[in-house]
Structure 1
Amino acid sequence: MELRHLRYFVAVAEEKSFNKAAARLYISQPPLSRQIKQLEEEIGVTLIDRENRPLKLTEAGEFFYDHAIQILKKSDDLRAMTIRKGSFDHSLSIGFVSSILYGILPKVIARFREVYPNIEIKLYELNSWQQTQGLVDGKIDVGFGRLLFEDASIRRMVLREESLVVAVPINHPLAKEGRTSVRLMDLTNENLLLYPTAPRPSFIDYVLELFEARNLKANYFTEVRELHIALGLVAAGEGLTIVPKTLEHLRSQEVIYIPFEDGLLTSPIVMSIRHFDKSDLLKTLLDVTYQIYDAEGFDYKRENI
């Protein structure tokens, strides 16, 4: 059984017709029919009920189809990742979420350029979910995000946990009271401005899960397109938002940033790479990140590539 057999079968299963599948595959119909018949004979099971019009998969065929598309996707992903790996010596493509760009990422990139001045660096603003797909399809080589997703082809390293703070307008009661900390409970009836709206899942879902994990509910929240819009609306007195601590210098004349009680609410900074990718470029990027962490006095748990 070869990959082409799987591609032929998937085409027939999805088109529900040998003729349409043959046209999709740019081959003639008789050879396609013979290939599918050989596949069934090799497996010893009938996969397609040919008595139906349109064609219908047998129960075994449905099972085979579900697994065939997974195998084909992994094959395509492997091809894309390998092609990207072949050009890895000349450029490094980095995906990032915007909140990390306003943290230490620029310093990391600047230090990396000192070590590899001839490596072209390409930056892509992608949320954590998009970074996963970007790694798989070869668009990026490494991602810096804030959400953890399970994917067998991707390795995720939590570099550190960053404290979250609440951004409030300077004339908000929480600001006027001179509060040195707040609890998540204090925000349940506030209008929260959560971002980004798409694609999902995103930081919105992470914040809402913080409430749910404590048996709380954000009773009033508005979804906004991105971080800067949320902070702009906070400055205009339209509500509050939750951001990582490294962003508390933004709009500092109009917005007050209040930490959470005991600093218990955090957001992970996650570095994602393709599994088993042990490139010297990635090792250097990770080392440089830890050098910046040391210089900034951040707590972190060291990982190795």
Structure 2
Amino acid sequence: MELRHLRYFIAAAEEGNLTRAAEKLFMAQPPLTRQIKQLEEELGVALFIRKPRGLELTPGGEYFLEQARQIQDKVKATVEDTRRIAEHRKTVFSIGFVPSVFYGQLPKMIRRLRQNKNLEILLYELKTREQVEALKVGKIDIGFGRINIEDPDVEQQLLFAEPLIAAVPEGHVLGQQPLTMQALSAWPLVAFPSGPGPNFSDITQALFHSRGLKINVSQQVNDLQTALSLVASDMGFTLVPEQVRKLHREDVDFLTLIDSDISIPVIASRRRGEAPNSVMRLVNTILHELVDNRLSGRYP
């Protein structure tokens, strides 16, 4: 089996049609058909169900597609890192993050790592589930997210639980008295991020539902800045991690909730069972110090 077989198979699986897959690969259909058949013979498994209007993956084909994509991504990441190391003679360390954790101490950790002139830091904005997949294929070395995801190849560490605060339009009536979840539930919610769960929106809405409160979602958006802009436009409120208060937006007020247990986790994800190299040991040391500062109140 060669890498080209994986490329051919992925194209056929994504297009669901050999003619379109061949066009995508800039090759004729008969050679592609032969390559797919050779791959199936080598695996001893039927990867596709041939139908008059195209191809349908078998259960084995669905599993092989997932693994083939991971292999392809791992090869791509390895090639890119090898080129960087050869060009710069630096060790590459890649970090995945969700935007809301970047308002806290993560920039401090990156600044300290960048003091090492032999280290090149790469940053990838990824949702927590995307971080897990990126860890498995070697695209990133550590991820910082909000969601607990079970995966046998990845271990997750709860760093701390961060309080959630309400972002409301500047001068809103909600800021005139101690704020509760019940009071918030009477107003429209701007939810972020949108898309398949689990995500930040699922967690925040569950905080209302667990208290028997109904919530009216007025808008669903993909990122924090858009959510805050809609809040400033009086489209509703949104819940944000406490670190976001550092933005100091003049058109948005950030209000503390008096309810208990209104928080969201900050989670570090790493590959399971992998012995830490010197860079990871340095990252762990810095991270331990920063988390200790946060928990002891030396940093908000």
Q: TM-score range by the shorter chain?
A: 0.7 to 0.9
2:269 and 2:118 map into 1 onto residues whose CA distance is 23
1:62 aligns with 2:58: yes
Work out which of the residue numbers 247, 250, 271 in structure 2 matches 1:274.
Answer: 271
Counterparts of 1:199 and 1:70 in 2: how far apart (Å)?
Answer: 18
Q: Deviations over 1:1-31 (max 9, x none)?
A: 999888888888876769x87x969699599
User: Secondary structure at 1:122's aligned position in 2?
Assistant: strand
Find the counterpart in structure 2 of residue 206 from structure 1: 203
Please show how residues 41-52 of structure 1 align to structure 2 within 5 Å: 43=44
1:219 lines up with 2:216 in the alignment: yes
Task: Give the aligned partner of residue 124 of structure 1.
Answer: 124
Identity across aligned pairs (percent)?
Answer: 32
Q: Pick closer, same or farther for the CA change 1:257–1:77 going to 2, 3 Å.
A: same
In 2 relative to 1, CA 17–191 (structure 1 residues): closer, same or farther, beyond 3 Å? closer
**CA distance in structure 1 between the aligned counterparts of 2:93 and 2:36, rounded to whole angstroms:** 42
Distance 1:31 1:224 in 2: 41
Aligned to 2:162: 162
Alpha-carbon distance in 1 for matches of 2:42, 2:137? 34
Letter in structure 2 aligned against 1:143? G
In 1, distance between residues paired with 2:16 and 2:258?
Answer: 55
Count of residue pairs brought into register by the alignment? 289
Q: Distance in 1 between matches of 2:289 and 2:243?
A: 17
- The one-letter amino acid paired with 2:238 is T
Question: Residue 190 of structure 2 contacts residue 236 of structure 2 at CA under 8 Å; is this kept in 1?
Answer: yes
SS at structure 1 position matched to 2:144: strand
Distance 1:40 1:94, change over 3 A: closer
Displacement after TM superposition at 1:39 (Å): 5.9
Separation in 2 of the partners of 1:73 and 1:101?
Answer: 29
How far apart are the structure 2 equivalents of 1:132 and 1:217?
32
- Larger mean Cα displacement after TM superposition, 74-83 or 23-32: 23-32
Q: Distance in 2 between matches of 1:6 and 1:101?
A: 36
Spell out, residue by residue over 1:213-245, the C-alpha distance to the aligned partner (whole angstroms, 9 max, x if none): 444331243223432333344345442211111
Question: Where in structure 2 are the equivalents of 1:84-103 lying within 5 Å?
Answer: 90-103=91-104
Name the structure 2 match of 1:302.
Answer: none
RMSD: 4.2
Rounded to whole Å, the distance in 1 between the matches of 2:39 and 2:190 is 59
Shift of 1:37: 7.9
The match for 1:171 is: 171
3-state SS of the aligned residue for 1:140?
A: coil
Per-residue deviation at 1:138? 4.1
TM-score by length of 2: 0.72
1:257 to 244, 255, 258: 255
Alignment CA distance shift 1:232-1:260 (3 Å)? farther
Q: Secondary structure at the match of 2:58?
A: helix
Q: 1:255 offset after TM fit, Å?
A: 0.9
Go from structure 1 to structure 2 and tell me whether the alpha carbon gap of 1:16 and 1:233 turns closer, same or farther (over 3 Å shift).
Answer: closer
Contact 1:81/1:135 (8 A) holds in 2: no
Q: Which has the larger radius of gyration?
A: 1
SS in 2 for 1:193: strand
**1:239 aligned partner:** 236
Separation in structure 2 between the aligned mates of residue 133 and residue 35 of structure 1, nearest angstrom: 26
Instruction: Report deviation, 1:250.
Output: 2.9
Cα 1:15–1:281, aligned 2, differ >3 Å: closer, same or farther? same
Note closer, same or farther for the CA distance 1:67–1:2 as it changes in structure 2 (3 Å cut): farther
Choose 137-146 or 102-111, whichever is displaced more: 137-146
Task: State the match for 2:148 in structure 1.
Answer: 148
Would you say the 8 A contact 2:145–2:266 is kept in 1?
yes
* TM-score relative to the length of structure 1: 0.71
Structure 1: distance between partners of 2:234 and 2:39? 69
Going from structure 1 to structure 2, the CA distance change for 1:46 and 1:215 (only over 3 Å counts) comes to same
* Structure 2: distance between partners of 1:67 and 1:117: 42
Return the offset for 1:207.
1.6
Distance apart, 1:105 and its partner CA:
0.9
2:290 is matched with 292
**Post-superposition offset of 1:74:** 4.5
Q: Which ranges in structure 2 are unaligned for 5 or more consecutive residues?
A: none
